[in-house]
Homo-oligomer: A and B are copies of this chain.
Amino acid sequence: MAEELRIGLVGTGGIGRTHIERINTRLQGGKVVACSDPAAAFGMSVAEKYGIKGFENPLDMINDPEIDAVMCTTADPYHEEYVLAAIKAGKYVFCEKPLAPKAEACKRIVAAEMEAGKQFVQVGFMRRYDYGYLQLKEAVDSGKYGQPLLLHCAHRNPDVVAGWDNSSAVENSMVHEIDVLRWLLGEDYATAEVQFGKCTTKGVPGVQDPQIMILTTKSGVRIDVESFVTTHNAYEIKCEIVCEDAILNMPQPGYISISAGTQCARKEHADYVERFGDAYDTEIQTWINATKAGYVDGPNAWDGYCCQVAAAAASKARDTKSVVEVVYDPMPDFYKK
């Protein structure tokens, strides 16, 4: 492998271009040297914009010997095809979350990886690299505060992208909590439920907002997550962990305080980029480093599968207004550490 990791990126939409800029101007040890998109012409135009090689066909790029590793940032339904291609080509692949929309597709990726005899896939759950969650995990894992009993979380967005519907709160927004809380607590989920709060009159017509997802873990920890996606104010991520011996809470945003007009105010985060920009950097840098060293360090294909199983259970719970069990396949030894 070349000294600098030569990355081919497939999926040149917003998040893809963000990653190109991140890797090529801020991070170290890798370069996005080529890109491609299922919409071939679009991919080529982005390649031209960044002065990197364009491939009409993403599969050609993935298989090109000049490409050491793959980033997959396409629309979700395309993930499976390109991730499988990367595995087949024996190349490490970073796939934006979700690994695939359906758990069955995730399982096919898991199967391919196992057949290849080696882990190649990392899924883009960047919150595991966030300074706030990392501190919370360290505190929980220290055992100093007793075991966690309850988690109260909130995921608040100023506004949503086009096409947002009732299923999006679970599948596009709270899916982040589904992954990061499983990692934080180090255990799988047992049940999922979704309840609706009073609906804002200032949201997307026809869409229920806010929604509350309730998860329980196998050991009995109860989690509630508020998803409120049209606050028209700040982007806010809350995570309060009620342990036997202490209550743990997320850090405050690192903004100056301004006392004026008879109030003392501090800016809140404007959006997920402002909130998690550093986590993205750390995530991708860590992936580059691990890839060059020849292993998968972050959330892997099995994590990607587990996340979709829980998301599917939560979606079913929402649609059926019931508590739904989260049932995973047994974890293969292949993924046990």
Residues of A at the B interface (CB closer than 8 Å) are 25-28, 131-132, 135-136, 139, 145-150, 152, 154, 156, 158, 195-202, 210, 212, 214, 219-222, 224, 226, 228, 231-234, 236, 242, 244-268, 270, 285
Contact = CB atoms under 8 A, between A and B. Distances in A.
Contact of A222 (B26, B132, B212, B270): B212
Contacts of A196: 222
A255 B254 CA distance: 10
B221 A195 contact: no
16 contacts: A27-B28, A131-B254, A132-B256, A139-B258, A150-B198, A158-B262, A196-B222, A198-B221, A212-B222, A228-B242, A233-B262, A236-B247, A236-B259, A262-B267, A263-B267, A265-B265
A323 to B, nearest CB: 10
Considering the complex of A and B, which 4 residue pairs feature the smallest CB-CB distances, nearest first? A246-B260, A265-B265, A198-B220, A197-B222
A260 B249 CA distance: 12
A184 to B, nearest CB: 12
Nearest to A221: B198
Contact of A197 (B28, B149, B264): B149
Contact of A252 (B26, B242, B254): B254
B252 A234 contact: no
A268 to B, nearest CB: 5
Given A242-B228, A266-B264, A135 B251 contact: no
Given A233-B261, A248-B256, 12 more contacts: A28-B28, A132-B256, A147-B198, A195-B222, A202-B244, A228-B242, A234-B263, A245-B260, A248-B258, A263-B266, A265-B265, A265-B266
